[in-house]
Chains A and B, each alone.
Chain A
Amino acid sequence: MPGTALKFRLPDSLVLTDLISTLRTAFPMVEEPPISLARSYYDSFDWRLFQAGKVLWRETARRQQRLVLTDTDEEQSGEFQPLSGQMPGFHRELPPGRLREQVAALLDMRVLLPVADVGVTEQIYRVLDEEEKTLLRIATGSYRGTIPGSKGSIPLGGWLRLFPVRGYLKDLDRVQSFLGTEIGLTPASGGILELALTAMGTRPLDYSSKLKFHFSPEERADKAAKKIHLHLLDTLEQNLPGTLADLDSEFLHDLRVAVRRTRSALTQIKGVFEPSAVERFKERLGWVGQITGPTRDMDVYLLDYADYRDSLPERFRKDLEPLHDFLLAHQRQAQRALSRKLRSKAFQELMMDWRTFLEAPVQNSPQGVDGALPIGDVAGKRIYKIFKRVLRQGLAIGADSPPEALHELRKDCKKLRYLIEFFRSLYPQDLIDPVIKTLKALLDNLGDFQDMEVQALKLREFAHEMLREGEVPADTLLAMGMLVDGLLNRQQRARDAFAKRFARFAGKGNRAAFKSLFSENKSSESLA
């Protein structure tokens, strides 16, 4: 029932029995036995369901469990799925059905984590007609909320909820207006989950891997740079527990992206810190990139495994199974090594040193040559410089250029993208968005070109390693060979598409946009 009031907060002063007797004077009602409901809400670490306007919970009542997926107001009828046993983590472990399909599309590779528990003992009344047919259900109860894993619950107040029955909307109307005019209740919006999270001092969407900064052009460059680095360090640390526990592959991915962005920011936002400090931290953070690499490699193959398998003709798909076993075993091995290193003293010291460096207040006399300059100038200058470099490199690439030329170009494009994303708040959104979009399209193409090659070479490596580790069926190696062939074909397609993508990036319109946004002689008037 979109747009209709189905939830009412009961004032603490209201006596429930009085409310029910008043309702009874106007509507024939029967009382059902009270029912205890325990709801556990689930979402991914980055709130993928909530972001899409959905809420998922497991409900236990009368020893029966079911999953419910609704809109965030929790009033739409939604999807139901009986559940037996443990709460699944990944969408593929959910019982098949529409609920799983919807959750799968939103969740992708992310695991479901508990976000809030809510309990209520509800008294349900059925409003009847003369045939004793149920026209509407009225439920009252006091809700309690708990943060998963913590002790003690927080009272969420008394609530009255209406459950309409299809085809009896007039009866719903009558009860709604009675509750308003006779009882003086006002309808509440939002779902129980939001209510519970607010009461418990948290809120949905408290984590996102996206960059959101708000800079003003006059801000000191070293200050702005520290803000960027601190945000990235927070992101890194937020993803650490999930990475250590290997809850899903995205924790490590986000952690690695944060490290990569940090290293890029260290070198690309030039001259804002003391050069020796920059060198030191760049190197130490490079080590984090290295130790996290092997696990990520295996994660990538496992994530793509189904696509790999399905790219083969049906009768060869089974041949690939030993590869899957190999990937699983090596992922576990790499993950164990990674956990050890992330728990090491060296890593902890790095985190501590880096935070200490970032949290130290900036001094009046800056440590880097450009530290005290306004960030608007520093950002525009750097972005435009890298842009010109990318243009030069790309224009020099012809049909005969070696793959390395494209790989180099990709590196600089990435730097450019990170820089623009760090500083996008300095520029008008309607101008900066298309610039990012064109750059992303080029990067996707370059990414495909390089990744396909890397993956193909890595598969060859795997084949040799599998042979070293024991017997591998010849059919498995042949199937892997077919994958290599497919990957190299895709790489060639990416190569073929490059010229067109780059032409769009290097086109007049995009060049003019870069110039007007970032070029020095235009920078002051073009800043937002």
Chain B
Amino acid sequence: MRIIGVYNIKGGVGKTATAVNLAYVSAAAGFRTLVWDLDPQGAATYYFRVKPRVKGGGERILRGQREIDRVIKGTDFERLDLLPADFSYRNMDLVLGETKKPAKQLLRLLHPLAEEFDYIYLDCPPSISLVSENIFRAADALLIPTIPTTLSVRTYQQLLQFLDGHGLAKISRMPFFSMVDRRKRMHSQIIAEMPRHHPEMLSTSLPYASDVEKMGTHRQPVGVSSPTCLAARAYQSLWAEVMERLP
């Protein structure tokens, strides 16, 4: 089992679309894949048409009072399952804070799923919190969608500082450009420069595409609604690159 956290301090960078689409590609390639929608907004859950509710409440999962595999829902796609979002996740920091090893709860919860899934994608809420620290400790790799703007570069560096400062230097970091609009000069400029300072950047970048925006209407991965579009192909190659880079 490999755990991939899709994370950025900033919101609105294409995290959920990345988690959902990569998980779809992974399952289609034959791997048993799970998406855990950790964001109380429940966008990934919405895309999969699942009700954003964990039976008995998400808190009980976090407290280990309910077995995690009992709340997993099958999506419409073979081998692709979802741990739905729950509105109670908005209080996740508080719940985690009450536990014994607050930064390692997620890892403990995911452990029993090792036999059942090949890949787990965590769709993470933005900001740095106890939740994100949990994600950093559980994940084998952090996939970081980054819009090519000056501000994004800065948040990426903030993240690196946080990781280095919390004994998390080992986690594999995989930043990649997301929502790229090549007509914008700043985008082209940063795409040219940033990899020089950060050779860990993946070479695949995701275009700013209406097919991705329409996921909210279709409520399907782009690989299903428009399998040949540019975005669908970009997710394919992003997945292949991630697979290659995974430790």
Contact = CB atoms under 8 A, between A and B. Distances in A.
A165 interface: yes
Contacts of A66: 30
A97 B30 contact: yes
A131 interface: yes
Interface string A34-77: 00000000000000000000000000000000100000000000
Interface in B40-95: 48-51, 71-74, 76, 78-79, 81
A168 B74 CA distance: 8
B73 A168 contact: yes
B79 A166 contact: no
Interface string B23-43: 000000110000000000000
A165 B76 CA distance: 8
Of A66, A80, A126, most B-chain CB atoms within 10 Å: A80
A170 to B, nearest CB: 11
Given A80-B79, A133-B48, A133-B50, A167 B72 contact: yes
A461 B167 CA distance: 61
Nearest to A167: B73
Interface in B183-227: 219
Contacts of A492: none
Nearest to A82: B30
Contacts of A425: none
A185 to B, nearest CB: 24
A524 interface: no
Contacts of B79: 80
A264 interface: no
B91 to A, nearest CB: 24
B199 to A, nearest CB: 30
Q: Which of A81, A132, A133, A165 has the most B CB atoms < 10 Å from its CB?
A: A133
A82 B78 CA distance: 13
B85 to A, nearest CB: 14
B29 A166 contact: no
Contact of B71 (A132, A134, A167, A168): A167
Nearest to A95: B30
A435 to B, nearest CB: 41
Contact of B73 (A97, A132, A166): A166
Given A133-B76, A134-B76, A166 B81 contact: yes
Contacts of A80: 30, 78-79
A7 to B, nearest CB: 19
A80 B76 CA distance: 17
Contacts, number: 35
A80 B78 CA distance: 10
Contact of A131 (B30, B51, B74, B78): B51
A131 B73 contact: no
Contacts of B219: 131-132
B74 A166 contact: yes
Nearest to B46: A131
Interface residues of A, number: 16
Contacts of A134: 76
Nearest to B70: A167
A131 B73 CA distance: 14
Contact of B29 (A82, A132, A133, A168): A82
A166 B113 CA distance: 15
Nearest to A137: B76
Nearest to A135: B74
Contacts of A165: 73-74, 76
Contacts of A133: 48-50, 76
Contacts of B71: 167
A168 B75 CA distance: 10
A437 to B, nearest CB: 34
A202 B168 CA distance: 61
Contacts of B78: 80
A126 B74 CA distance: 14
Contacts of B74: 164-168
Interface in A119-153: 126, 129, 131-134
A73 to B, nearest CB: 19
B72 A81 contact: no
B13 to A, nearest CB: 26
Nearest to B82: A167
Nearest to A83: B30
A166 B72 contact: yes
A168 B51 CA distance: 12
Interface in A74-104: 80-82, 97
A245 to B, nearest CB: 32
A66 B72 CA distance: 26
Contacts of B72: 166-167
A129 B79 CA distance: 20
A46 to B, nearest CB: 29
B49 A132 contact: yes
A165 to B, nearest CB: 4
A165 B50 CA distance: 12
Nearest to A80: B30
B30 A81 contact: yes
A417 B212 CA distance: 71
A195 B74 CA distance: 29
A81 B171 CA distance: 30
Contacts of A126: 76
A455 B238 CA distance: 52
A134 B73 CA distance: 11
Given A66-B30, A167-B72, A168-B73, 12 more contacts: A80-B30, A80-B78, A82-B30, A97-B30, A131-B50, A131-B51, A133-B48, A133-B76, A134-B76, A165-B73, A166-B73, A168-B74
26 contacts: A66-B30, A80-B78, A80-B79, A81-B30, A126-B76, A129-B49, A131-B50, A131-B51, A131-B219, A132-B49, A133-B48, A133-B49, A133-B76, A134-B76, A164-B74, A165-B73, A165-B74, A165-B76, A166-B72, A166-B73, A166-B81, A167-B71, A167-B73, A167-B74, A168-B73, A168-B74
Closest 9 CB pairs of A and B: A166-B74, A133-B49, A167-B73, A165-B74, A131-B49, A134-B76, A82-B30, A80-B30, A167-B74
